[in-house]
Structure formats: C-alpha cells, structure tokens
Amino acid sequence: MSDRPGLIMLKPVLHNNIWGGRRLAEFGYELPDGPVGECWGIAAHPHGDCEIDGGPYDGMTLSQLWYEHHELFEGAVGDRFPLLVKVLDARESLSIQVHPDDDYAFEHEDGSLGKSECWYVLDAKQDGQIIVGQHAHDRAEFAQMVAEGRWDDLENRVPIHPGDFFDIRPGTMHAIMDGTMILETQQSSDVTYRVYDFDRRQADGSLRELHLQQAMDVIDYGAKAPVSGKVTAPEVDGVTKLMSCEYFEVLRVRVTPDAPVELEQRHPFMCLSVVAGAGGQVSTPAGSWDVHKGSHFVAPHGSGALSLSGDMTLICSYVPTIAASGWGKGDYPTTKSAGGATKNRIGIDIGGTQLRVAAYNEDGEELAKEVMPNDHDLGPAANLQRLVDAINGWGIGYMGIGVGAPGPLSFKAGKILNPPNLPGWENFNIVSFLERETKHRVRLNNDANVAGLAESLSGAGWGYESLFYFTVSTGVGGAYIYQNQIVGGANSCAAEVFNMVVNEFEDVRPGMNVGSVEEQASGPSIARMASKGLGRTVDPAEVFALYEQGDETARKVIDHAADVLAKAVHNVSCVVDPDVFVFGGSVALNNPWFIDLVCEKAKKLVLNPSTLRIELAKCGGDAGLIGASLLVR
C-alpha cells in the first residue's frame, strides 16, 4: 500500500438564489426546494465550506484540513484555501458586477482577498450572450453613461456557446445572462460590487443596493473588451491550458474510452470537477476512485500522477507551481538565496511597547535580531512594514514567518481581534498583510503559546512529552504543549488561565471573573493590592523587595498571590496532568524564590505531590521570538 495521500472527495454546498433554476439536478445533486443557482463544489469559505466525503479525513471541512493538515497543501501560502470552484445555473440574468483586486479589497474589505475569476461555459441558450467588459474610457465617462442610463452603449455583450471560456480579471465589468450554465474558478473571496440590476424590484418593491462608487474605484478603464470566448489554445494529449494568471491556472481535460489521460501532479494541490460525460475512474498510487458528472475532488500535494480513464470532461485548476517566477504565482521559496538557506525561520514578537524580530537557522542559532518601539501613532500596517523592512535588509533566505501576538486572536482568520494593549490594531489581519509584503507563509499564535512552545522545544520543557507554561508578568497567561505541539482547543481558548476562577476575590476589573487568577497574581495586581494596604503607590519590584525585608503587608500580598497560582497549578493538573510546569514572565524570572513558594503551596493541593515538577523558564526574554519562529515547521 502506498504511503502517498489519496484524493480528497468533497460534498458540494448548494445555494438558493432568486436567479437560479433547477438544472443543477442534472449533475446528480439533491436540490433543496426553490430556485438553486450555485453549487460550491470545491470551497473552504465561511459562506460555504465543503465537507470531505470518505477517506481518513471523512466529515472534516476543507478549511479544517487546510489549517490542521497543511502538509496536504505543501507549498501553498495564505491564511485560507485560495481557490473556490462553483457551478452556476442562471435561469435569470445576474446583476452586472465588478470585483476589486487584492490591494483594494485588503484596504476596504477588512483584509479580504480580491477576486479574479474565470468562466467555462457548460451550456447556453440559442443566441445566448454574456457581458464581459465595458466601453467607457475613464471614470467620468462611465459616471455620465450610468447617469444617462446608456447601458446598451456601456455594456460589452459577447455571444456564447458551450465550451467557450472567459478570463474575468479584477476591474472587469461582467454579468452572466439568463439561460447560461457555467463552471467558475475564482479566488476564495465573495467581494462583489453591484453596478446595475436592470431596475428589477425585490419582493418588497425596493431596488437592490448598488455599489457604484466602489465599482468606479476598481474598474479597469483601459482593459480591452473581448469579442469571443472561443478556445483557441491547442489540445495536447487531451489537455488544454485555458488560462494562467498570478492566482491560478486552469485546464480542460477530455478523456475518452480510447484516449485515457495521464495528469502530472506537481503542485501544492489540484482541484478537479467532472462537468460532462458518462464518468470514469481516477487512479493514483494510493488507489482508485469512481467519478461522474458532478464529482468534485482535490488531489493533494504528493499524491502522484493521476490516471484518468472513461468518458468525461474535467476542469482542473491549481495555484501555479513553485517553479513559476515571481510572487503571486503561488510560489513558496525552496532554493537557497543570498545570505542563508531556506531552512531559516523568522520570528516576530508583537508587544504593547516593543516590536521584536529575529532570524534563526535550523539549529536554533540566532542569525539577526532587531528590536524597535511599537509606535501607536503609526498603526499596525506601518509598524509591521518596519519589521518587513528589517527582514529584507538582512538578505537572509527563510522558509516562513511565525508571529506571536497578545490575544484575543483568530488563528484561522489570521487576525488580531481587540487586544487591550494594542490600540488601533483591532481586527487587523496580520497574516494577510505579512504574506502579501514578504511573499512567504505566515503562522500566527498568541504570545503565551509561542513562549510555551519555545520552552518545550529548546528550554526547560525539553525532553518532556507534555508541558504547561505559565507566564506571570503584566498579565497571567498559559499554554499547553503536548508532543511539541500547541494545544489550542476547539475555539483557540485552551490554557487561557488568566480568567480562571480560584476563589471569591471581588476586586476585579470590568469583564474579568470574580476570583480570576490575573486579578490577584499579575505584577500590576500585586502592586495594586500592596498599594491599597500600604496607603501609598508601589510597583511590583518594591513589593517583592519589601517582602524580603519582612514587611507584613507585602508578605500577605505575596503569600496571597502564591496561593492563587498554586490553586491554578492544581486545577490544571487535575485536567491535563502535564509532565512539567514551567513559569516564565518578568515576575517569575526576577523572583525565582516566589515560584519556589508557589511550588511549596501547590504540593499541598495536588493529588500526587511527589511527581509535581515546576521549573523556571530558560529561554529568557527571547522566548516569544524563539517560539514564534518555531511555528514555522
């Protein structure tokens, strides 16, 4: 039996659309009631995420597979599966639309991708047409033609026939007209600006919303409008390359009983959809699969060549190979570049006061490092650009970037959500920005998790199967590392001990739980409680100094904080029972005797005190950088 991965068969997602019909049943789909306009055959988008049908990943969604088993897509960059393949049945005409490019969408649509797409015409009514392009020479002329209602003069209408193909780049005005069925390959984006809807009324009598200002911003007034969609590229051994752009390449594959096709798979992945014919079989080194009209599947990285037999036509798409030149072609650097090998890794540590970036080789040796203030007047994009400039200035080749940032985060979306110590960074897509600017894959996780990972792989947790990491500093954070992997939980909330309840302590900030760990054991909390007892303002360092001098108020506060952390250790040990606890952060590292006190108190609570191991972190102030770099595997 081959150890290569097999094909990933998908269950399509069907969408009701007012302009849709019932013809998608011809593909063997069980349609919901009402007009059905779209079958999302290969999709990992929030509006439609295909479920895997059979095999070792049965029941997972394609987006889950992308995040949790990225080795199946090795070489593909981005924080989301990059392509979306649909079959559309337009019983009525769709509105006239235009899509933005990546830069415009990133700036105006919350970090979204832009949208390049293409259409392969499956069927069309006699004398059918579509709209591709427009005839205005500039924005002013476009606005005037719209204001005067001169749509017939503005629209570029093209006659269509089954087998035609159209390349719809960002900035191209377009509309699928009634009586048309197409297969659409596109970037995984749903950003659309509606230009005109033929003055149709909705059920409540209102007109649909238009987006004319955005549309006029993004329309390419210099693009040449096509006059035909006839495919003129040659067919070689059953394969015709329909298009190639910076985001994807598309093939038509025709298989007949007398002419099977061998399709090489040298890409991060290949998307395949059977669009015509009686069906057939697809074989790889891992096995064989029967397919039919309406089948959609992905050939993952390393699956090997595909042998196709039977009677069928397929549309195949993929991000261009890593051998393609230039970013935007899906390439993922694999060759050595001046100054270093691609096994080097970049780590970025984003803090409220500092931004830190470093490069490490495969042995963990630091190659370069730069520390700079986080200038809150600049905003996230400008601050991150300073880090990019530093990386570029080193001239070191590297295979990817890991980022540690304060939470809360959305790991899957690549966003920092609403961090209290990073004003202005709310909902900023760190991953999209850095991937766009560096042309490398980027991984994001929270700062406590990456510090815990550093301790597991190269610090106090080295050699242990499981580790629980506490950071005690301006806050209290946690990370659970098992077999050198971060355990994030279903919602990325595993090990978030800061709000863990250990008693009924009520002096807490809004939004925090009564009795939470952070409100009683962090540096600021220790200072706040001591200041209240002493009747004057003190900082954490002074509280610890007073404790060592025998001050009774300081003793009570420190003793209370140690009790709180000991209870947190006990709670964690009851749930995950790690081999070792590791304490880091400025409070712990500057006062190692304090952690000894925590250990002493925790041994009185845990079920088996003789096996309790508590260690101080060994990676020091660079734990966040080291751990961030180790996200790149």
**Whose CA is closest to 469, among 614, 620, 633, 628?**
614
Cβ-Cβ contacts under 8 Å for 366 (sequence gap 6 or more): 358, 359, 360, 622
Count CB-CB contacts under 10 A for residue 37. 24
- What does the CA dihedral 323, 325, 329, 335 come to, rounded to 10 degrees? 50
Can you tell me the distance from the alpha carbon of 299 to that of 553, in angstroms, rounded to the nearest whole number? 66
User: Do residues 299 and 328 lie in contact, with contact meaning Cβ atoms separated by under 8 Å?
Assistant: no
Can you tell me the distance from the alpha carbon of 335 to that of 342, in angstroms, rounded to the nearest whole number? 7
From the candidates 194, 356, 436, 443, which is the catalytic residue? 194
Can you tell me the distance from the alpha carbon of 146 to that of 140, in angstroms, rounded to the nearest whole number? 10
Count CB-CB contacts under 10 A for residue 43. 27
Query: What secondary structure does DSSP assign to 306-352, as a single string?
Result: EEEEEEEEEEEEEPPPTTSSSTTS-----S-BTTB-TT-EEEEEE-S
What beta strand segments (E) does 419-520 contain? 428-429, 442-446, 466-472, 476-482, 485-486
Query: In the annotation, is 194 catalytic?
Result: yes
DSSP 33: S
User: Do residues 593 and 518 lie in contact, with contact meaning Cβ atoms separated by under 8 Å?
Assistant: no
Peptide bond connecting 408 to the previous residue in cis, omega within 30 degrees of 0: yes
Write 376-384 long-range contacts (CB < 8 A, 24+).
376/422, 376/423, 376/424, 379/424, 379/425, 380/416, 380/422, 380/424, 380/425, 380/428, 380/430, 380/433, 381/428, 381/433, 383/355, 384/430, 384/433, 384/434, 384/437
Neighbouring-strand partners of residue 313: 254, 276
Burial class (CB in 10 A: 0-12, 13-18, 19+), 325: exposed
Pairing of strands 415-416, 428-429: antiparallel
At position 228, the amino acid (one-letter code) is S
Residues annotated as part of the active site: 194
